[in-house]
Amino acid sequence: MAGKASPRIGVLALQGDFREHIASLTELVADVVPLRRPEEIDGLDGVVIPGGESSVMDKLSRAFGVAEPLGAAIRGGLPTYGTCAGMIMLSARITDGIAGQHTLDVLDTTVRRNAFGNQNDSFEIDIPMPDLGAEPVHAVFIRAPVVEQHGASVDVIGALPDGQVVAVQQGNVLASAFHPEVAGEDRFHRRFLDIVRRA
């Protein structure tokens, strides 16, 4: 996006909490648009994949013909941030997916869906993440996944006190198992926009 005044960010808006991401991003950058159709990918400088239900998002993104060109664009370097279901959509491998669930396969991780079970399926916790600054991140988990395994080129940005990995970055792809967009936490969106500006 070299030379452009303001990056254009697309938020995948087929399902889930895309409105919250659009609101968070609009605080930081002027040009934020919903992404629903394959022809809208061209001209984007970055993409956000929201939280929601990954199996539904997967089906809709394939039905709308967005999944394949979006995966190709991300593999080609398009900066991308996924939260929760968005993290699942990005992951190369998932455990406890529904039968036939696909992903965009752009992040070298194995992610377990609904990793915290029914007892503890939603919770909030402050997690130190030195990459994002001294202040811990207030992380809101809602039927969240965890990263069970990751390749050597994946950096861990955040983990729970028991060591379970919940935020990662691999090149231009950033992902968190929790929802900064509902917590008034803008440092993940800022980090994503830094990736966009450097790309």
- The residues that are catalytic are 84, 179, 181
- Binding track over 94-133 against ligand GLN, x by CB under 6 A: -------------------xx-------------------
Which residues are CB-contacts of 89 (< 8 A; sequence separation ≥ 6)?
A: 49, 54, 57, 58, 61, 82, 103, 104
The reply, when asked if residue 157 is annotated as ligand binding, is: no
State the helix-helix crossing angle for 54-63 and 67-75, rounded to 10 degrees: 100
* Residue 61 binding ligand GLN, by CB under 6 A: no
The reply, when asked if residue 39 is annotated as ligand binding, is: no
Query: Given the complex with ligand GLN, which of 85 and 195 has the nearer CB atom?
Result: 85
Strand partners, 126: 138
* Residue 85 binding ligand GLN, by CB under 6 A: yes
Which residues are CB-contacts of 75 (< 8 A; sequence separation ≥ 6)?
A: 106
* Residue 22 binding ligand GLN, by CB under 6 A: no
User: H helices of 27-111, where?
Assistant: 54-63, 67-75, 85-90
Binding residues for L-glutamine: 52-54, 113, 142-143
Residues of this chain that bind ligand GLN (CB under 6 A): 51-54, 84-85, 88, 113-114, 142-143
